Amino acid sequence: MASFDSYRELFSYNNNNDTMSEARTLEREEPNYFGAGPALLPTSVLQEAALDLLGYEGDNLGIGEISHRSKPAIKVIDDTKANLTKLLNIPDTHEVFFMQGGGTTGFSSIVYNLFANYAKKTNGQKAKAAYAITGSWSKKASEEATRLGFEVDVVVNTKSQKFADIPPYSEWKAIDKNTAYLYVCDNETVNGNEFKDIPGPEYLPEGVELVADMSSNILSKAIDVSKYGLIMAGAQKNIGLAGLTIYIIKKSLIEQPSDEELRSYGIPLTPIAFHYPTVISNNSAYNTIPIFTCHILKLVTEKLLSEGGIAHIQKLNEQKADLLYSALEKYPGFYTLPISNPNVRSNMNVVFTLPSEELEAKFIKEAAERKLSGLKGHRSVGGMRASIYNAVTLHSVQLLVDLVNEFATNNS
Ligand code: PMP
C-alpha cells in the first residue's frame, strides 16, 4: 500500500477561491457522530479504502474499477465471507452471501425465497409466515409481505403501545402449523428496542425457521447463528457503506422448485437478481456486486478481528450503552426513555425525549457547539436518538454524557 503522504498531492487541490484553498488530505478530526445510518466508519478504514480507490494492490487501477469477476474482486468477496464466518462463528450448516438492495430488498426477497423453499420441502404447499411487529421496520417488513400477496400472521403487535416493550413469547399468538418462518427485527433502529434473547422450542415449533433483520446491530454482539434460518442485514449502519446486504442462510433453506414447478403450484417466482440459489451459486456475483462496498466491509471486519473480535466489541458496546442510559436515568423528570422496559433497550440506538420541543432544539444546538452531531430522532417519532454503533468511541459517548448531565442541571 502506498503511503498516505505520497497520495496527499493527488488529493490536494487549489481552488482560486481563498476560503477553499486549504489542501485536502486523508486526515480528519475524529467526528463525534451519532447518526442512525448511514453511520460512522473507522477513519483508518476510510483512509485505506480511499487509497485503494486510486490503486488496488500495487496496480494503477482502483478497487471500484476492476471487474467484479476478476481475481482480486473474488478474493475480496471470499475474504469478507471468511471474516464474517470467524467473527460470528458461522457453522458449516449456514452460508453467507451478499446482495444489493438494502434491508428493504430483504423484506421482499425473504418472502419470495422462503415461500418457494417451503414449497420445495412440502411438494408444493403454500406456507404462511408469522411476523412480530415490535417497531417500524418489522411493521414495514410485514406490510411488504402482505402487499406481495403472501399470507401473513401477525403474532405480536406493540404499535398501540408505541413499541415501548417486547412482550414475553408466552403472550404472543401461537404459531400455526404450516408456517414457514417467524420474522423478527432484532434491533428496531427508529424506536430503540432490541431483543435480548430468541424464542426457544416452547414458542417456536420445530421446522419453523427464525428469520431476523439485524441491519442495525449485526456484529455488535455474539449470536448463536445455528438457531437462525436466515439473518439479513444492510451494511450501512454498524459495519459498512450502503449498497450491500449481508445474508446468512441455513443451507437447507436454499433449495427451491424449478420455475415450472412454482408456476404449477401458483407460487410466485423470485426476481432473478434476488433469487438466493442463483446468487449463492455465483458466489454473490451473479450480477455486479458493489465491490468497493464489499471491500469496506472486509476492512471493517478485519479491524474487528484484529481488535479482539465480537467479545471485545460487545463489551465495549455494553459499556457505552450503560454509560448513556445511566446518565439519562439520573434525571427521570427531565429525560424520558420511551422504551419503558429497561431489559429491551437497544444497545445501538438510544432514544430519549426532553420536556419540550424547545428544549430539544436547544439540546441539539448545544450539542453542535460541542461538535456532537446526528442526534435528532427519526422524523416519525421526534425526540433524540443517539446511535452508538461499533465505530462510535467510548470517548464520543463520554462527551455526550457530559452534555446530558450539564444540560439537565442547567435547564431543570
Ligand atoms: N431494517 C432496519 C432495522 C433498518 O434500520 C433499516 C433502515 N435503514 C431497514 C431495514 C431498511 O434499510 P434500507 O434503507 O437499506 O432498505
C-alpha to C-alpha distance for 320 and 312, rounded to whole angstroms: 13
Among all chains, which residue has been given the C-alpha cell 406493540?
A: 158
In a domain, 191, yes or no: yes
Question: pLDDT tens across 187-237, in order?
Answer: 999 999 999 999 999 999 999 999 999 999 999 999 999 999 999 999 999
Q: Identify the CA nearest to 374 among candidates 30, 27, 28, 37.
A: 37
DSSP string computed for 289-348: --HHHHHHHHHHHHHHHHTTHHHHHHHHHHHHHHHHHHHHHT-TTT-B-S---GGGB-SS
- Lowest-pLDDT choice from 150-154, 256-260, 380-384, 388-392: 380-384
pLDDT, one tens digit per residue, over 61-112 is: 999 999 999 999 999 999 999 999 999 999 999 999 999 999 999 999 999 9
pLDDT at res. 20: 52
What percent of the chain has a predicted confidence (pLDDT) above 90? Answer: 91
Ligand 1 centre from 256 Cα, in Å? 27
- Whether 231 is in a domain gets the answer yes
More confident position, 4 or 140: 140
Inform me whether the pLDDT recorded for 21 exceeds 70.
Answer: no
- Residue identifier of the C-alpha nearest atom 12 of ligand 1: 103
| Ligand 1 mean position, distance from CA 214 (Å) | 9
Instruction: Find the domain containing 275 and state its range.
Output: 71-304
How large is the average pLDDT for residues 390-400?
Answer: 98
Distance CA 407, CA 337 (A): 16
**Average of per-residue pLDDT across 109-136:** 97
* In a domain? residue 197: yes
Bigger pLDDT: 296 vs 377: 296
Pairing assessment for the beta strands 230-234 and 209-213 based on DSSP bridges: parallel
Q: Which residue's CA lies nearest to atom 3 of ligand 1?
A: 215
Is residue 42 domain-resident?
A: no
The answer to whether residue 21 is domain-embedded is no
Mutate to test the pocket of ligand 1, among 108, 136, 137 (most ligand atoms within 8 A of CB): 137
Is 177 an active-site residue?
no
**Ligand 1 centre distance from Cα of residue 138 (Å):** 10
CB 265 less than 6 A from any atom of ligand 1: no
What is the edge-to-edge ordering of all strands in the sheet holding 128-133?
94-99, 245-250, 230-234, 209-213, 179-185, 128-133, 152-157
- The residue from 52, 81, 120, 137 that is catalytic is 137
> What is the average pLDDT score of the chain?
94
Q: Residue 379 — pLDDT band, cuts 50, 70, 90?
A: confident
Give the pLDDT score at 382: 84
**For residue 218, is it within any domain?**
yes
Return the residue whose CA atom lies nearest to atom 2 of ligand 1: 215
Stated as kind and residue range, the H or E segment containing 260 is: helix 259-265
Range with the lowest mean pLDDT among 20-34, 62-76, 79-93, 249-263? 20-34
Task: Give me the CATH number covering residue 109.
Answer: 3.40.640.10
In this model, does residue 15 exceed pLDDT 70? no
Ligand 1 neighbourhood includes 103 CB (under 6 angstroms) = yes
Distance from Cα 196 to the centre of ligand 1, integer Å: 20
**Pocket flag, ligand 1, residue 35 (CB < 6 Å):** no
Domains of the chain: total: 1
* Ligand 1 and 234: CB distance under 6 A: yes
Q: Is residue 378 part of a domain?
A: no
In a domain, 86, yes or no: yes
Write the residue with the smallest CA distance to atom 9 of ligand 1: 103
Dig out the grid coordinates for 142 from the structure. Answer: 410485514
